[in-house]
Amino acid sequence: MNEELYDKARDAAANAYAPYSNFHVGAVVVADDGRVFEGCNVENAAYGSGICAEGNAISSAAASGVRKIDTVVIACLDAGECYPCGNCRQLMREFSVDTVVVQDGSGALRVHSFDEILPHSFGPDSLGDG
Ligand code: THU
């Protein structure tokens, strides 16, 4: 199952628009209702306006009404290990991601709990009543 999702993430990475970094990343999101969404990184001449593959996939899921994500699978065509950036870890936190799957650089996948990816995190449930 994770292998199939990873293959799908690699397909998404092939669509990455990464003329500045040449770093092609794809992500697949599995929602709690089983729907699957994908994204790739989309860079911009104004570098800071680029978006990561994970953020793209998460935004796509949210735009289709998803509010709980079970799993995020990440593939990179240009590196061995590829872990999500800090900002994407926080984006995952918002939608209560349980599991993050990454490539290990030798053809195998690593399955992480979200707490391993972003321990002691801040999220919607951390806000007080104001
Ligand atoms: N990138 C992602 O899309 N996801 C990651 O997990 C790491 C980095 C993108 C951002 C940028 O377009 C390029 O890879 C180089 O940082």
Question: Which amino acids bring their CB within 6 angstroms of ligand 1?
Answer: 18, 21, 23, 25, 41, 43, 50, 52-54, 74, 82, 84-85, 88
Pocket test for ligand 1, best of 22, 51, 52, 102 (most atoms within 8 A of CB): 52
Does the pTM surpass 0.75? The reply is yes
Cα(58)–Cα(98) distance, integer angstroms: 14
pLDDT digits 0-9 by tens, 14-71: 999 999 999 999 999 999 999 999 999 999 999 999 999 999 999 999 999 999 999 9
| 80, 108 Cβ separation under 8 angstroms | no
Query: 8: domain range?
Result: 2-126
Question: What's the CATH code of the domain at 90?
Answer: 3.40.140.10
High-pLDDT (> 90) share of the chain, %? 96
Query: How many helices and strands (H and E) does the chain possess?
Result: 4, 5
Position 6 scores a pLDDT of 98
Return the structure tokens found at 96: 């209560």
pLDDT the model gives residue 130: 63
For residue 36, give the 3-state DSSP assignment.
Answer: strand
- Looking at the structure of the chain, the number of domains it has is 1
Model pLDDT, residue 128: 85
Question: What is the whole-number distance in angstroms between the Cα of residue 41 and the centre of ligand 1?
Answer: 6
